[in-house]
Amino acid sequence: MQGEWHKITIFAQNLYLNPMKNLIRMASVPLVAAAATACSSVQTEQPWIVDRFDDIKVIRYEVPGFEQLPLEEKELVYYLAEAAKCGRDILYDQNCAINLPVRRTLECIYTAYAGDRTTAEWKSLEKYLKKVWFANGIHHHYSNDKFVPEFTEEYLLSVIESIDEAAFGELNAWRGEVCRAIFDASLYPTKLNQKAGEDLLLTSASNYYSGVTQAEAEGFYARMAAADKGNPTPVSYGLNSQLTKDEQGNLVERTWYLEGMYGAAIKEIVYWLEKAEAVAKEPQKTTISHLIAYYKTGDLKRFDAYNIAWVADTESNVDFVNGFIEDYGDALGRKASWESIVNFKDKEACHRTEVISANAQWFEDHSPINPAYRKPEVKGVSAKVITVAMLGGDCYPATPIGINLPNADWIRRDHGSKSVTIDNITYAYDKATQGNGFNEEFVLRAEDRERMKLYGKLADDLHTDLHECLGHGSGRLKEGVSPTALGSYSSTLEETRADLFGLYYIGDAKMVELGLVPSFELAKAAYADYIMNGMMTQLSRIEPGKDVEESHMRNRKLIAEWCYEQGRDEKVIEWVVENGKRYLVVNNFERLRELFGQMLCEIQRIKSEGDYEAGQALVEQYAVKVDPELHQEVLERYRALNIEPYGGFVNPEYELVKEGDKVVDVKITYPANYTEQMLNYAANYSFLPNKN
């Protein structure tokens, strides 16, 4: 089942992670219009950015409408939000086995150090800790590279020695390993290695496999799949376990459940889920009970039961994700990182996605692909705009801006999927990034800038909607083709498919007819933006000398470069140099749209037929390698703008208001201090031992 868990994270990067998109949104969105679409109650002028360090900015988000929820829904949000915070340590350990001791050692230092906190070295140490918090470990959340400390080992040791040993407790025994993890560049160099030809497991620092080679892991799961061959509803083998060896050298899974690995954190999650179950109404009560049963047993069939119940429930106002969901962190695309999001419907903003969903069959029937690979009946496309109330695990502090779940192909096929976009997050991001000069720097033509200004926000929203509500759910496999046939290329190709679906249709007259798009001018804004990002500006997030690794970035590069190449003779897309700076210009938007259609046809064919070689060839030719000169130029121009390329969020805090034993209200507050929130979580939501 490799590769089937890739569908959740979204176009997210386009917004909060992707500087160029952000830019477009921010520089462009007329505030009033943005506010009017969804977040009309979020108009207070408070500082949105609560911290900045390195390449990161941390933003606060508001939760409009929370106060107006009925009491039982507020209480439900509260319990689910507590559950969302309890799995945080799991992600740290999944990312790398040394992460918890490193974080705790640094937190201990940060809290106890009585020396000079104004020196450059202390500031560097503080920055390092902030980066560890942001990345949930010692590797960059996006590039996966290990952080390089800007303080010396001698300094760190001198700080440690100035603190009473008792303050460190058990951590004293970890000091040597912690120092090596921080300072030895050859140890844990990358969290996730995807270089074809290397042993992807032995060279990745993530903790999904321990002492196991790639060939052993692949063999282990191939045997498991073979034993289950022909089962139309297979579980997602390996999703919730670490693969390791026992004392005799046999491969064994250590399952993540109440009595197993990560049990101490799962116990807390279950405690709060049981509280949530008690106040939830049907059918949600049953959904939560399935999830609890899954956490208690580790049985993936129960996880499927939970997903089926979850996807069927489109009515509950409050909703949530909680579990081992995303497989992006596993080189084999099998093991899922822990995450949680708690949310409720943003009813006013749902109109857009309702219209798209209501016309799902029309879009499928007109998709520019081989008719044999269209879905005769598009099922269960549900879409809504939500307001996030709490982010946890792999959704915090960096978060997706859309969700499309569940991931298992057969559940999607038989039961459909739920798709949401998160408006209060994107709104906060827009607010935090207004006016940073990006478009002026990278967009050559005034007409493009003008269009981006007018339509950028709506174009982004609609592309996300199309990608999530329709793109991932469209198309079908040829009979007998394995959903895992595309192997390690499946994430990139799947995102490519969904993005192309969105790009193609955002320029379709149908969108105008449906009243969602004013004219083709909006597509022009989206296309110019997409091409520029895919071929150029997204390189600002990559370190010099590195390849493009992340699957959403790869997919954007693949699409833009392929279209550039295909339309080269006609100059559909053109490089223009002015004043020594390179710019990308789209000369023929209509033709570009046709190219998107042709490419969608080919990518769908590759997926439907499981054509691994063709998929590999496309990705390796267009999506991976970076032109070093262009890269250098982008980095310099981007650096001159002084914009942090990554953003993440601090959560609100919730408090039960009681009269005696009775809950009478839930109070929400918005903390404005990133460090305080992290220390608070460390003190109150850290349940795992140092070694798991």
Per-residue binder mask for Zn ion (CB under 5 A), 291-310, x = binder? --------------------
Kindly state the helix (H) or strand (E) to which residue 181 belongs, with its residue range: helix 175-183
- SS3 (DSSP) at 628: helix
Please tell me whether residue 647 adopts helix, strand or coil conformation. strand
β-strands 573-578, 56-60: how paired?
unpaired
Q: Which residue is nearest to Zn ion (CB)?
A: 498
Half-sphere exposure of 401 (CA within 13 A, CB side): 29
Q: Which stretch binds Zn ion (CB under 5 A): 132-140, 427-435, 489-497, 643-651?
A: 489-497
Instruction: Find out whether 380 and 414 touch, Cβ atoms under 8 Å.
Output: no
Rounded to a whole number of angstroms, the minimum distance from the CB of residue 501 to Zn ion is 10
Residues within window 312-331 making contact with Zn ion, judged by CB under 5 A:
none
Q: Which stretch binds Zn ion (CB under 5 A): 227-235, 275-283, 488-496, 599-607?
A: 488-496
Q: Which stretch binds Zn ion (CB under 5 A): 78-86, 408-416, 490-498, 600-608?
A: 490-498
Q: Considering the complex, state which of residue 80 and residue 548 has its C-beta at the smaller distance from Zn ion.
A: 548
What is the closest distance, in whole angstroms, from the C-beta atom of residue 420 to Zn ion in the complex?
A: 13
At its nearest, how many Å lie between Zn ion and the CB of residue 465?
Answer: 12
Q: Considering beta carbons, is residue 66 or 501 the nearer one to Zn ion?
A: 501
> Closest separation between CB of residue 537 and Zn ion, Å?
20
Closest approach, Cβ 611 to Zn ion, in A, equals 20
How far out from the chain centre does Cα 129 lie? 22
Q: Which is nearer to Zn ion, 397 or 473 (CB)?
A: 473
Pick one of 83, 498, 503, 559: the residue that binds Zn ion (CB under 5 A).
498
CB of 13 to Zn ion, least distance (A): 10
Interface region with Zn ion, contact rule CB under 5 A, candidates 48-56, 153-161, 496-504, 661-669: 496-504
Cα-Cα-Cα-Cα dihedral sign, residues 486, 242, 546, 440 = positive
Stretch that binds Zn ion, among 223-231, 423-431, 492-500, 683-691 (CB under 5 A): 492-500
Nearer Cβ to Zn ion, position 9 or 690?
9
Q: Which is nearer to Zn ion, 205 or 498 (CB)?
A: 498
User: Strand (E) positions, 401-457?
Assistant: 402-405, 417-422
3-class secondary-structure state, position 575? strand
CB distance 305 to 290 below 8 Å: yes
What is the chain's Cα-based Rg?
Answer: 24
In whole angstroms, the minimum distance from the beta carbon of 10 to Zn ion comes to: 5
- DSSP 3-state of 178: helix
**For 642, left (φ over 0), alpha (ψ -120 to 50), or beta?**
left
As measured in angstroms, the least distance from the Cβ of 610 to Zn ion is 19
**Interacting span for Zn ion (CB under 5 A) from 311-319, 379-387, 498-506, 572-580:** 498-506
- Is the CB of 24 or the CB of 498 nearer to Zn ion? 498
Shortest gap between Cβ of 491 and Zn ion (angstroms)? 9
Q: Are 394 and 326 in contact (CB under 8 A)?
A: yes
Q: How far is the CB of 97 from Zn ion (least distance, A)?
A: 29
Q: Whose Cβ is closer to Zn ion: residue 460's or residue 495's? A: 495
The crossing angle, in degrees rounded to 10, of helices 490-506 and 551-566 is 60
129 scored as a contact of Zn ion (CB under 5 A): no
> Judged by CB, which is closer to Zn ion: 498, or 623?
498
By beta-carbon proximity to Zn ion, the closer residue of 346 and 495 is: 495
Q: Cα(458)–Cα(250) distance, rounded to whole angstroms? A: 54
| Nearer to Zn ion (CB atom), residue 27 or residue 618 | 618
Q: For Zn ion, which is the closer residue by CB, 407 or 690?
A: 407
CB-wise, 81 or 462, nearer to Zn ion? 462
Which residue, among 167, 265, 255, 267, has the nearest Cα to 689 in the 3D structure? 265
Tell the smallest beta-carbon distance from residue 325 to Zn ion (Å). 13
Whole-number minimum distance, CB 529 to Zn ion, in Å? Answer: 17
- Closest C-alpha to 501, from 419, 621, 443: 419
Both tokens assigned to 206: 């993530």
For residue 376, say if its preceding peptide bond is cis, omega within 30 degrees of 0.
no
- Which secondary structure element, helix H or strand E, spans residue 27, and what is its range? helix 19-28
**Cα gap 206→193, rounded to integer Å:** 9
Q: Minimal distance in Å, beta carbon 249 to Zn ion? A: 39
Considering the complex, state which of residue 86 and residue 553 has its C-beta at the smaller distance from Zn ion: 553
| 3-state SS class at 174 | helix
Applying the rule CB under 5 A, the residues between 549 and 608 that interact with Zn ion are none
Positive/negative CA dihedral, 491, 497, 498, 502: positive
CB neighbours of residue 480 within 10 Å: 6
Q: Which listed range, 16-24, 332-340, 494-502, 573-581, lies at the site for Zn ion (CB under 5 A)?
A: 494-502
Burial of 670 (0-12, 13-18, 19+ CB in 10 A): middle
Candidate ranges 208-216, 302-310, 421-429, 497-505; the one touching Zn ion (CB under 5 A): 497-505
Minimum Å distance from CB 554 to Zn ion?
12
Whichever of 340 and 492 has its CB closer to Zn ion, that residue is: 492
- Count of residues that bind Zn ion according to CB under 5 A: 2
Q: Which is nearer to Zn ion, 241 or 496 (CB)?
A: 496
Roughly how many angstroms between the first and final C-alpha of the chain, as a whole number? 26
Sheet containing strand 402-405, strands side by side: 318-326, 337-345, 381-393, 417-422, 402-405
Least CB distance to Zn ion at residue 467 (A): 6
- The answer to whether residues 589 and 519 touch, using CB atoms and an 8 Å cutoff, is no
How many whole angstroms separate alpha carbon 365 and alpha carbon 187? 52
Scanning 495-503, 506-514, 595-603, 647-655 for contacts with Zn ion by CB under 5 A, the matching segment is 495-503
Q: Choose the stretch contacting Zn ion; rule: CB under 5 A; options: 318-326, 487-495, 627-635, 645-653.
A: 487-495
Is 10 or 682 the residue whose CB approaches Zn ion more closely?
10
| Nearest to Zn ion of 106, 498 (CB atom) | 498
- DSSP assignment of 330-390, as one string? STTS-S-EEEEEEEEE-GGGGHHHHHHHHTHHHHHHT-SS-GGGS-SS---EEEEEEEEEE
CB 336 within 8 A of CB 327: yes
Are residues 25 and 423 in contact, defined by beta-carbon separation less than 8 angstroms?
A: no
Q: Please state the closest distance from residue 460 (CB atom) to Zn ion, in A.
A: 14
Residue 120 one-letter amino acid: A
Shortest distance in whole angstroms from residue 495 CB to Zn ion: 5
Q: Which residue, 346 or 499, is less far from Zn ion as judged by CB?
A: 499
- Please give the backbone phi and psi of residue 144, each rounded to the nearest 5 degrees, phi first: 70, 0
As measured in angstroms, the least distance from the Cβ of 12 to Zn ion is: 8
Residues that bind Zn ion (CB under 5 A): 495, 498
